[in-house]
Every structure is written in structure tokens, then in C-alpha cells.
Structure 1
Amino acid sequence: MVAALRLLQAGGIAILPSILIDMESVFEIYIRRVLAEGLADDRSIRVRDGNKEGDGGARRPLYAPARAGLKNPDVKPDVVIEVNGAPKLVIDAKYKRAPDMPDRGDVNQVVVYGARYAAPRIMVLHAGRLQNRPSAELCGSIGGFEVFNGMVDLGAAAIEDEEEAFVAAIRALL
């Protein structure tokens, strides 16, 4: 049986197929686009997709080098921002409300990303921004990494202003 929405009207029943949208993936794609377009004026900056390999991609194996015969899982951060070819900021997007501080598990994940990419700054990005809070705020340092809580309010009345503020906050971190 195919899941569908059935609407009963005077003329009969309209059957509409279900549509499932992975909002986590949509948020990641949206953020990469906002950053790529917002930072496009600086040719030294490149916004890369950690979910992909090859041109525009930044996916890497977790271990380098790895023990012979080991199944080496990939590291796939949502966004890797490079300046002059060197990773400067790694972002993992979370399609959830912004907490006061990122969850410990999310921080653990971005610390691994930061270590693998040798990026000095790492960010957990949330799909929401707490009132009167900036788009990016420093949580603290872990080892040689500065950990940031990133926030984009998708419900902002002027989403263009929200995007510009986020891009400006990221530019300031580079």
C-alpha cells in the first residue's frame, strides 16, 4: 500500500501521493549555498561539501594513515571552508533549535572533524537563533580548536538579513 493523502470533495476523492523531505539535508544544502554565494567575492575562499568527493567535495577517510586491512570510515562534515587551500573552519549543521551551548555529542563530532582537517575553528550550526544572540559565538577552546555555536533563524521575518549576518559572522572567523 502506498501512503497518500485522500481528500474527499463533492466531485469525488482526490488522492495525493506522500512527499517526504529530509530537512536535515535541505538545511545543509541551504547553508552551503548561502555561504558559497555570500563569500564568492573573495576568490581565496572556497566553500566545500564534506559529503562529496572530487571537485567541490571535501570528504576524507577518518584515519590517515590507517592500519592495513582496516575498513576506514569517511569523515563527512557538512561544510569545510578553505582560505588559500587550507581548511580554516569546519561546520556541522544540525536541523534543531539552538541550545545555549552545543550538545556534547555534537561537539565531539566537530572536534574529530577539526582534527582530521587541521582546521583551527569548528562550529556546530543550528537551525534557529536564540533571541539577542549573534550568528556565531565562541563557546571555548578544546586543545588547539576554537569551538563555535552557530545559529541561523530560519523563521526570521527578513531571511535575507539573517543570511547576511551569518555570512558576515563566518567571514570574521576566517
Structure 2
Amino acid sequence: MDLQMISTYIRLSFLLVLFVGALHLSTAQTRSCARTCNVLYRCSPYYKELVYAVVDGVCRVYQNGCIFGNENCTRVNQCQSPLSSTSAEKCKEFCPRRCPRGGQEVCGWFPFINSNGENSDRYIAFANRCLLDQYSCQNNIAYAYEPTLGPCP
């Protein structure tokens, strides 16, 4: 073999190694998510059977098991690990103790059944999400779904 062929062989080998290495790195850094949960139920936000879970280090109160199940389905489809329910006592260890004063205002929707047995709604505005979670946790009251940003209707 002459010097030019050896040089070409080395360059091609080097490029092949680079390509295989880049391919390996890209597949190692990509999370595979099957998005296997395709069953979302229509849940009544007025049916109350509280479920407690710690979400990102904060106690979250869910109105009922159906809403909690839908949250887990959404998490699985977003390649996040599912939540585990816990006792109210254990969850309360993760109630926010202090919240910042600033932040984005949020509106929490608190559905309930009034004394006449009718579905009712209460909307409460909070200066930020931390204060909403704190209120919900300390008072054993669930807000339904994700809070809306900005003032309440």
C-alpha cells in the first residue's frame, strides 16, 4: 500500500469512529417514552375522596382518585415517573412552610357540594402557586386541575 491509501484509510476509519460515537451519544441521551397511557377518564370534580401525593417535594391534595389517576396518566405520557399516593399525615410533612411574596398570580378552582346538595364553585386568587399549595395542604382542600394564571373570573 502506498502512503496516500494508508492516509485515506486512516481518515475514513477516524470518521467512522466519530460517527458511531456521535450516534451512541445521541441515543444514550434520548429518553425513550412509549406514551402508553391513552385512557383519560371524565372525572367529577365535585366527588370528594381526597388523595394525597408529594409532587416535586410539595404536598398536593387531589379531589378524588379519578383526578389523581388522570394526573398519573398525563405524567406517564410526558415521560415522568408516576406519583404514589400517601397518607395525609405523611403528605403534610411536605406542606410549604414559607412562600415568596412575588411571582405569578394564580387562580385556584375549589369545587364542592353545598348544603343543598348542589355543585358549587369557589375561586380563590393567590399571589403565587406556592401560596395556593400551602392553603390547599394546610386546609385539606383540593383545587381541581392546574390553576389558571392571572386573576380569577
TM bracket, shorter-chain basis = under 0.3
The two structures have a TM-score, normalised by structure 1, of 0.22
Structure number with the higher helix fraction is 2
Q: Higher RCO, 1 or 2 (CA under 8 Å, sep at least 6)?
A: 2
The two structures have a TM-score, normalised by structure 2, of 0.24
Structure number with the higher strand fraction is 1
Which structure's CA Rg is the greater one? 2
